Structure 1
Amino acid sequence: MKKHNFYAGPSILADEVIENAAKAILDFNGTGVSLLSISHRTKDFDDVMAEADKLFRELLAIPDNYKIFYLGGGASTLFYEVAANFLGKKAGYVNTGVWSKKAIKEARRYGEVEVVASSEDRDFTYIPKGFAIPSDLDYLHITTNNTIYGTEFHEDLTSPVPLIADMSSDILSRPVDVSKYAMIYGGAQKNLAPAGVSFVIIREDMLDKIVRDLPTMVSFRTHVDNNSMFNTPPVFPIYVLMETLRWLKKIGGVDEIFRRNGAKAKLLYDEIDRNPLFRGTVEMEDRSLMNICFVMAEGYEELAPEFLEFAKARGMVGIKGHRLVGGFRASCYNALPIESVQALVGCMQEFEKLHAKR
């Protein structure tokens, strides 16, 4: 039976990316050495890093005055590293869910944090809009896509202070004006690579705004000055990231994947809105393209466990909602084919025929 992978992360990667990575594990670039055993100081891996940089810049139209580097670990480490580097007196944060709250907690170790906007008053079911951004902030931090609750910023903010964004779960899924951000970062295990590496896109002038003497590995300047090679980088995830960027360029780039993501999301949201057994959980205008969250509708709540088993028996993998919110979550990352969404919609319609009240 074909499996339809809706896991929230580590998440689906394109088949050809996985196949190329598997070949490289056996023999990397014709060297006769496994990718898992290759030295990061070889020319072959230098070429991987250079191509990843070139493709990232091309696909996101990253201006020349930005640097890209990679770190071991995930975005949760960067929560405190952002503040360690840039929080001198006061930083602003927009609180849109669990990951924003974690970032706020880490930042408060280094200085004052002002929550300039929050959607916690309605259980994170919307994205705050029209909020004032104080001009005395060292930076403003946002989480662009909220994997647990299923909301997403659909426009780039205009900020009078440096704007820093955690784009772990929607990087390269839609067009972004990188020039509006002082820094973009994220874990790669949603749309780019397996777990184990995080990416940073940073405007060069931010390196002159580092506010304290830091341990070598915590300072962003260390990794920019050493081209991600101060210590051994996560070789395998970076290689897969490069292969993913190749795949994305091959299929038509960010504009094409944005079109595909929009079509997938519309297909599933339309079914959620039409099907009497299900309902969406967030404001329609703020619905995420990446993480589509829904629950059983009123009067059908007791069918939730049955639907999970029903869907699982038909090849749906990973649609159980996060433990904090329950319900269902279909993560529709870049590499998920629309056929998988069609299969889930068909499953929902089949379940409706069995249980809808006439």
Structure 2
Amino acid sequence: MKNIIAATLMTILISFSFYQVNLDSDSDFERWALKHGKHYFGDEKKYRQAIYFQNKQMIEEHNKRSEFTFLMGENQFMAITNEEFVSLYLNPISPEKQNEQDQIIRKTNPKSPEPIREYNLKDDVDWRGYAPVKNSGNCGSSWAMAATNVIEAAYAIDKGIKVTLSAQNVMDCANSWGGCDASLADFSDPKNAYGHARNRGILTESEYPYTGRGDDWCQQTGFAPWRIMSYAQNSDDIDYMRGFLQMLTEHPLSVKVDATNWQFYSSGVFSLCSSIYKKANYYALAIGYVWEANQQQNWQQIWRVQASFGISWGEFGTIRLAPGNTCGVINEGIRVYLWGG
């Protein structure tokens, strides 16, 4: 009902030229829908088409502005609003969890927005390719995607074994409260996945395929071979940045970030986000950093983070973040340890 009402209002706005949509450009929407396997009918189609062109105009206007250091581009999220993007794909923290974490994580926000050069432990760190870029589809399963990515990377680095692990296995068996429900932040947490990997192990993607549903019964019987010994979160009480960098030079880390404005990120260095922990709403994989010169020819440390929106999003599934605690990237770095690793 809500979408039908919105579609009617949007249709009225279009008819009065509030949105300048050229009917000849309708084929742009049709091509986009075909490419991404989207099927809309009736009022829903009119509503999604209007959102598509509104987002398209916003992207074009953003890319004309010189003050931004990143570009936007069309992707699979073109026919949804930012509000829908946040509610469908991200994992906001509950108010109760916010209050609890505020007291614990205050120390994780550095005073300076830029890391000091002495923090640099290696010139560049690049863990791209050690874990596959996943696609959560229409499901807020970033917590399971990031956790399995961390374990996959650990096996590739420590054991020389490339494996793609089942996020669905984790969603069904480590979270009985609905693996896609972004509102259940206490349960949709990588730590639950790491606990399952430690206690029972995880099956491969081919053994336990991804359905993108959060209400399936656990199909795992017995123990799976892909297990971890333990996991650890950044705990450098003196300097969180130093602790995060030390861990990242050894392995990729699962992180929780503010991805509210990641919807149309295409390329460049992103900074349009909050570093405050209570704003964090998405789990991703920190895969390194690179030193780059900015417009003033000052060297700065740029983070590279891998999302689970597929390889067509961003820079082949990754995003570059500005120096410092951008998007809260250093607030919750977690790595895993393998048996005999």
If the TM-score is normalised by the length of the shorter chain, which range does it land in? under 0.3
Task: State the TM-score, normalized to the length of structure 1.
Answer: 0.24
